[in-house]
Amino acid sequence: MSWGPCRGRRMVLPEGIDEAEVADFVEGAQATKVKEVSARVHFGLTREVSWELGPFHVHYAEEYPCEVRFVQVTGAVQGDIDGATDLLARYLRPVREDDLLRAVDVADSIEQRRACLVRAGIGAPLTFDEPFFRRIADAVCDRDEMIREGGLWAAVYAFWPELRPLVAEMGRSEPAQTLRDQAAAVAATWH
């Protein structure tokens, strides 16, 4: 997923906030919808909507398989992106980074932990962050296949160079063939 030369942080939306709230905000600011895609996919995005607003774009997306809803601002000038992201965050009140991490730590089922890992990967900072890295790295090496899958998708979203060796190793030695193939495909495209 590439949304332009500069990107603001992805913001994971809390329960009860979805496309309608994002649309209300950006369309109220006179943004123009430039993209709207709905798809049924096995992995990836099932919904994506983008608006152009002056020097930047606002993107809303729904991730599959964990149905994480998130928003991101992109553009050419980082200062514009930061300002728009901060304004949007005040309106949408995204899930805070420490809450994303805490959710991974307290998840009480494998399915919930997998989903929390994906959410954490989506909401991870743009640059390397040790607490996020540690949780993703632990997940990639977990004994449970579903947790390893959640770790892989968290790594794909976080996309830090520090995660590449873990994903590459997963692509070589992961016991589950489908997951090994996915990791190998990700590692092959990760430059």
Residue 41 has pLDDT above 70, yes or no: no
Judged by DSSP in three states, 42 sits in coil
CB 179, CB 170: distance < 8 Å: yes
Q: Is the pTM of this model over 0.75?
A: yes
3-state DSSP: the chain helix, strand, coil percent, rounded to 5?
A: 50, 20, 30
pLDDT (0 to 100) of residue 4: 46
Confidence of residue 42 (pLDDT cuts 50, 70, 90): low
